[in-house]
Amino acid sequence: SNSSAASDVYKRQFPNFEIITVLAFLAVMLLDERIAIIVPVTGMIVSDILIGNPVYTGAEINKIVIFTYSGFAILVLINTFAKKKIEPYFTSISKCSVISILGIGVSFVLIYDVWTNIGWWYLFYPHTLQGLATVFALGLPFMVYHLASGIITFLFIGLPVMTTVRSESSVSDKISYKVPALITIVLIVFSFV
């Protein structure tokens, strides 16, 4: 049955350390919002190819991919609307910027995981409260690892990149930081996938 197949997939999950969530955040903050979605989607496509996650199974699309990819699109959309409110927190590394980046990282992970868990429930489990509870219970270990990686990546990648780019330097200095920041983002994607 579909629910036992989905349950087997959850049992085979390995600890999730990923950086696509922080890349979705940085893409909105550093690039034109209209193209920011390209960064996480490209990261997902490349990582899916490298780890052998089938985007297509036979002639059909792997339906959970719809939820995983759209989960990052949701994060980009949320961040696009919040960008102007978030930017002022990153002119320097301070207690406020650390708390802000951790709050953003945890929020993004929770939003993404709730969305993808709903996808698992919708696609593979009975549409009952018990089915939904089962999905969230089975997804809890994954969510814990995902939260840990979110905290680490937002704190050690997101915060330094944002404070470097948004520091109180001149306009020419800010522009000169964008190229290394973007190169760093690309290298991080390829090093972790």
Q: Can you say how many angstroms the Cα of residue 87 is from the centroid of all Cα atoms in its chain?
A: 19
Per-residue pLDDT, 51:
76
Of the candidates 18, 67, 65, the one whose C-alpha atom is nearest the C-alpha of residue 43 is 18
Report which residue type is found at 55: V
Q: Report the percentage of the chain scoring pLDDT > 70.
A: 75
Whether the predicted pLDDT of 190 surpasses 80: no
Rounded Cα distance between 109 and 105, Å, is 6
Of 138, 97, 146, the C-alpha closest to 120 is 138
- Secondary structure E strands in 22-128: 56-57, 60-61
pLDDT exceeds 50 at position 11: no
| pLDDT value at residue 10 | 44
Determine the pLDDT at residue 186: 63
**pLDDT value, residue 57:** 67
**Between 7 and 135, whose confidence is greater?**
135
* Secondary structure (3-state) at 68: helix
Residue 188 pLDDT more than 80?
A: no
Give the tens place of pLDDT for each residue, 51-105: 777 776 666 668 888 999 999 999 999 999 999 999 999 988 899 999 999 999 9
At residue 16, does pLDDT exceed 70?
Answer: no
CB-based contacts of 56-64 (< 8 A; 24+ apart in sequence) = 63/119, 63/123, 64/116, 64/119, 64/120, 64/123
Average per-residue pLDDT for the chain: 82
pLDDT of residue 168: 65
Asked whether the predicted pLDDT for residue 4 surpasses 70, the reply is no
**Confidence (pLDDT) at 172:** 47
Is a pLDDT exceeding 50 seen at residue 1? no
| Statement: residue 192 has pLDDT above 80 | no
What's the pLDDT score for residue 183? 58
Would you say residue 180 has pLDDT above 80?
no
